[in-house]
Structure 1
């Protein structure tokens, strides 16, 4: 039998929370590196194009929505956002690797009547990012990252949700300072939302106002990790954190309206 006649495409998809699945275009399940690659639902790829230029490599993959592999609700909830995907060809007779075709992360996902289509962005897609940051009055760092340098020890708290109304959640302990969690996040530890993250728009006392309603219903008593945030203003950086030396913004830089001024205006 010709070697080309026994080639099958395989996909290894690793979500950001560590959950991993294997899929294949073959008509039966394959075991590759100890992971079962399912033939159903499998995935249908667009043409795989590799180039030696600096253009970002992208391709589309399509698949069926099933509760056993990729669920529609999980796609909508964002569980698959940013998942790492490795694409490779194997010999479906021996399981031997023929060629690594590339890897990347899942970008835009579209849902349709017959399934989903996901954009796969290769490593060269990072070249699309701006080389130099644009100026801004607000800080461009994230609270606690290597540029901000604020220690996050003590700024992460395990709390329980005692009540929920749409995008407003009430927890069992008050915030340490006013609007401490505004600009922060809630990591859902228990319940149907376990593993997901919700952005916090603002907080007051024991109340957290989220940017959006969580994808799944919340049962009171669920455990969450609440991480403090920052509104990225110089006033907060100085007054609350005493971290002006690491402020990554230009609050005193003149704006574009300076160009429109005229003598006597």
Structure 2
């Protein structure tokens, strides 16, 4: 049962209410932003929640399971702090959103309504709509290991153990074409597809920390071309400094030959496949499991 603070309860018991909803968004990069559906700025925990942002909140729905739920927030891209490029580039992905019910005439009289994580954001015609995922949503996600022939560790994590600094190359953007392909200088000595499945991270300037997943990499006219999985909404400019991390396709051969890390391989390369499952004993077969006697 939710306890309503006395100051807010007193306001709710009055003949008229002056309620507003405030949203405090805490992005993964440390940026904190405040928004409200009221017509003037309201302060919540020292955060200025700005009006006229187009932010709105839907009716909240709950289920007995761990589904995302029916609550969402929506808004127009009218605030200078919410841009379509930031949404497209994933800057808002996973942001922590705190929803507060506030008495606009006395913002100190408020009640936290919900804390959630910003989920999928849909953008169209200068507006956006995003779902709010509650803490229980994490309990509905699959956990544990998956038994496959390929590795289920992330390159460079504690289970993998590869030192990424050894496989990181400094490069500089020289051009970006209309298809989003990025030409860089500084990685010409590396073989084709070395960075396929890897990442390119901006290391300096206003976009420092912005990362792209690389789908393919190949040489062209003496330069190195990177093909991102998804082209950024705002193309990288020529001269942008990048840190390129080698890609890993999760195969045992790659782990052994490229990273010399076979002992830490987290897959099961000799696991029988579907052909074994549907096989049967034959009179002319060895049927010895491959064991030599």
Report the TM-score, using the length of structure 2 for normalisation. Answer: 0.79
Indicate the structure (1 or 2) with the bigger Cα radius of gyration. 2
Contact in 2 for aligned 1:135/1:249 (Cα 8 Å): yes
CA contact (8 A) 1:156 1:225 kept: yes
> Does the 8 Å CA contact 2:88/2:232 hold for their aligned counterparts?
no
Query: What's the CA shift for 1:30?
Result: 0.7
Of 72-81 and 237-246, deviating more is: 72-81
* Equivalent position of 1:203 in the other structure: 217
| Structure 2 residue 272 is matched with structure 1 residue 254 | yes
Cα deviations across residues 151-208 of structure 1 (Å, max 9, x unaligned)?
A: 2234334421112333332222126643432211112346786553211123346332
Aligned counterparts of 1:233 and 1:39: Cα–Cα separation in 2: 52
What's the CA shift string for 1:121-165, capped at 9, x where partnerless?
Answer: 111111121133332221111111121111223433442111233
The one-character-per-residue Cα deviations of 1:195-224 (angstroms, maximum 9, x if unpaired) are 532111233463323223332233221222
Report how far residue 37 of structure 1 moved.
0.3
Question: 1:66, 1:72 within 8 Å by CA — same for their partners in 2?
Answer: no
| CA 234–18 in structure 1, closer or farther in 2 if over 3 Å, else same | same
Determine helix, strand or coil for the equivalent of 2:86: helix
Which runs of 5 or more residues in structure 1 are unaligned?
none
Of 152-161 and 251-260, more deviation after overlay is shown by 152-161
Match of 1:149 in 2: 161
Match of 1:223?
241
Work out whether 1:55 is the aligned partner of 2:63: no
The one of 93, 102, 106 equivalent to 2:114 is 102
Distance 2:236 2:176 in 1: 7
2:176 aligned residue? 164
| TM-fit CA distance, 1:91 | 3.2
Contact 2:176 2:235 in 1 (8 A): no
Are the counterparts in 2 of residues 85 and 106 from structure 1 also a CA contact under 8 Å? yes
Q: How many residues align?
A: 264
Mapped to 2, the partners of 1:44 and 1:176 lie a distance apart of 52
CA distance in 1, matches of 2:109, 2:209: 33
Paired residue for 2:187?
174
TM-score by length of 1: 0.86
Cα distance, 1:99–1:215 mapped onto 2, change above 3 Å: same
For residues 112 and 216 of structure 1, the distance between their equivalents in structure 2, rounded to whole angstroms, comes to: 17
CA distance in 1, matches of 2:37, 2:227: 44
TM superposition outliers: structure 1 runs of 4+ over 6 Å: none
Gap change, CA 1:97 and 1:252, over 3 Å in 2: farther
What secondary structure does 2:255 align onto? helix
Partner of 2:94: 82
Superposition RMSD in Å: 2.7
Contact 1:155 1:228 in 2 (8 A): yes
C-alpha separation in 2, matches of 1:244 and 1:176: 25
Q: Which one of 2, 8, 30 corresponds to residue 42 of structure 2?
A: 30
Name the counterpart of 2:4.
none
1:140–1:249: 8 Å Cα contact kept in structure 2?
A: yes
